[in-house]
Every structure is written in structure tokens, then in C-alpha cells.
Structure 1
Amino acid sequence: MSQAVIFGASGGIGAALVEAVVAKGRYERIWAGSRSGQAAPAGAVPFAFDLTDEASIASAAGRIGGNVSLVFVATGVLSGGPDFQPEKTYKAQDPAAYAHAFAINATGPALIGKHFLPLLPRRERAVFAALTARVGSIADNRLGGWHAYRASKAALNMILRNFAIELRRTHPQAVVAALHPGTVATDLSAPFTSMREGQRLFTPDEAARYLLDVIDGLTLDDSGKAYGWDGQPIPF
């Protein structure tokens, strides 16, 4: 039985991804993960997980079992409250902000990989994807700032590259990709969508469709790389 697993199903992009995957009718079972374990559109099975609790991720993997053809990590944090905001200067760096950003944006997805990569089929095509951000690209960084967020997304990109290299030896048909959804009208981006005039703003449903189109077009040569919503590569 082919399965798809979406982490972050209670978020704007995650919920839209679950609905889009259900609509495709490609998988026999679709799992929708959230902290509450209750966010599941019709046609999906809910499960609970916490990015900061490895035991909860391991428990979810044990419940879901094997033959997972798609794992999509649609989680992330950019800001939250007065003590956790993107830094405009290096003078505003704070150890607690770094710890929180890395726990959610890098360590959490790494632990998902630890427990879910073994569930991918060994001889069939499978995809492990996670949401990255263009600002996590070292090569594309022209403005600076946003230190903790940029660094945590850059770390995520490296983790995914590592996954891709290792899976070539054990799962030769698997593809690992970092995907940037563009600027999407969600709670995460809401405080910052007015910062650049004229930027293209997607609805979560639009972003989900574009991301799944990118996934459908990924080849083995694309594994370990980052791509935007339009399928264009993003340099690490």
C-alpha cells in the first residue's frame, strides 16, 4: 500500500498540500501530521508529532509503517512574539532565538528523516521533501540580516544534501529535495509580506499545486538540491 505523509498539516501550506495530495488520488493512504493530531482534511488520516520531541516522531513512524512514497515536511518558524523576530543587525542576535530556529527548522526535519527515510521503498521512486527558504541560500544572500532564520534554513539544506548522498547507496530511486514555495499568504509570512512592493503572493492552494508539480518533475539528478515553486534551481 503506497502512502504519503505530510508533516505540518495544521499550517497553511501543509493543509493545502494534504488536500492537493488527496485530490490527486495517487496514494492509498495519506497521513496528516500536526501537534494536535487532529488536523486532517477528508481523505487523510491524522497523527500527532512534535518537532522538539523525537519520541513522538518515532512513534508516528512506528504507527505508519513502511512503503511511504512521499514524505513532505511543511513545517517552519520565522517569528513569534517580541523576543523572536528576524534580526535586522548582528547586534540583535540572541542564543535563545538561534536555539529555537534550529530546533524547528533544522533539527526537527533531521529527526523526521532519521525515522522516516527507512520507510521509503528501496527499489521504487520515492520523494523526501522539506520546505526551505530562498533566504537560506548562502550564494544568493545579498541583503544580510535574519541571522537565525537564514542559518537554520541553510542548515536544513545541508541536512537534505546529506540525506540525498546517503540514500543513493541504500535507496537508489529516492529523491531528496529542498523546496521554496515562494511568498505565501500564511500566518508565518503575514508580518512580512508588505516588505517588498510588487512581490508575487500565492494562496496556500496555489503554492501546494506548484510544489507538487515540482515534485512530479524531479529526477534522480535533482536529488540533494533546492528548487523554487517554479521548478528553477536555487543555489545553496
Structure 2
Amino acid sequence: MGTEIIQSSNITAIIGTDVEFPCQYNIPDKNFESVYWYLQRADQRFTYIGHTSQGTVELEHYQLFVNRKLLSSTLTIKHVQPRDKAIYYCAVRNNKLTFGTGTWLKVELTIQNPDPAVYQLKSPESSNISVCLFTDFDSEINVEPSTESNMTRLKSTSLDMKTMDSKSNGALAWSNSFDLGCNSTFNYTFHSSSEFPCDANVVEKGFETDMNLNFYNLLVIVLRITFLKVVGFNLLMTLRLWSS
């Protein structure tokens, strides 16, 4: 009987927490050199993490532990991040390197359910377009669009806010009617049975272009043109001096 390595098939971790990968192995002669840990990301590349024959090894993002007596090892990832999503392999070297089946790490974002908010975006009246975004509602709320015929809508979904390491539930609708009222755009039910009161205030924003931003963009263009003219004039005068 050869070396047998036992690993969990998959583990789920929340961003910012520590996660442990246990590894148990059976070796016929009860003797081995070291336990190695590797990871394999979606691009199929194997990356060496570290190894040790006994005790604890502290790394910047990982901790390795080996108990030779119990024939076990543990890899700990400190403060899990989205980039840690991968398959983690435990391997034992005993004349040759024997790999386990690997443990798939699934990383989940923190789910936040703050107070509901409704955002309404309106284009200039000439375009007659209005967009409603209902966001930050509880995940157990069933969001149904209203029955207005002139409205296009998406069912409820999750909005990933990776910069905040969180998720938020949201629903979107838009219409060619400039007078679309976002407060009455969606019907909300809790557990698909009782009514859920939504008293979120509408935050109205416009599609109009930022005038200050336009001014600064125009100023930059003028400065670039002026700079090119100065460079061209200096180059022309230098060529004339050389020719004379």
C-alpha cells in the first residue's frame, strides 16, 4: 500500500477571515521528509506555498503546521481575499512527491443589508429617459416590477461592490417616460406573502454633463495645442539657424 493523502473536497470562506485546510496522510513506513503545500488557480498554474517537516512555519499570508506523530498537516490562510480563490494541494515527499486530491476554496463577499434606497436618474427632457434603481434591500424581499406597459425592468439581482468587499441586492427599471415615479416602480413582498413597506427617499440625479469637467477638458486641449505650437516654433527657428 502506497502513501494515502486525505483532503476535504471544498471549503467556503468569507473575505477577511482565516481559513484552515486540514491534511491527513498514511505512510507505510511512518517516515517522510516534509509536507509541501501548493495552490492552483484558474489559469492552471501551480504555485509553491511552502513546506516543513515538523512544527509551524509562519509566512506573510500563510501558516504551515506539521505534526509528525499524528501524520497531519494544516495550511492556514490569513485574512482571505478574492485572489485566494484556488485549489490547494497537500503533498508528502517520501522518496517521491505524492499529491492529495486538493481542496477547492470558494471565497464569498460579505453580505450587507443596509436601509433600502431608491435612486432615480433622469436625462434631459428632450430624451425622455428615466432610470430607477432600488438597492440595499433585504435578501428575503421578493421584488416584483409594476405592470406599467412602457417600462423595461430587470428582476432582482446582486450588486457586487468589490471595492467595499461586500454585496448588495438591487433591482433596476427604466422607461421612456420622463415622469416615471420611482417610489411606485416596484412592488415589494416579504417572504412572498406579507407586504413590505418601503419608505426609502428618492435620490434624483441627472444625466447632464458636468460643466466644470467640460471646462477643464477644454483647458487641457488648449494648453496642449499651445505647447505643440511652441515646440514647432522652436524647431523651425533652430533649423533656420543651422541652415544659415
Normalised TM-score (structure 2): 0.19
Asked which structure has the greater RCO (Cα within 8 Å, sep 6+), the reply is 1
Normalised TM-score (structure 1): 0.19
Q: Which has the higher strand share?
A: 2
Q: Which has the higher helix share?
A: 1
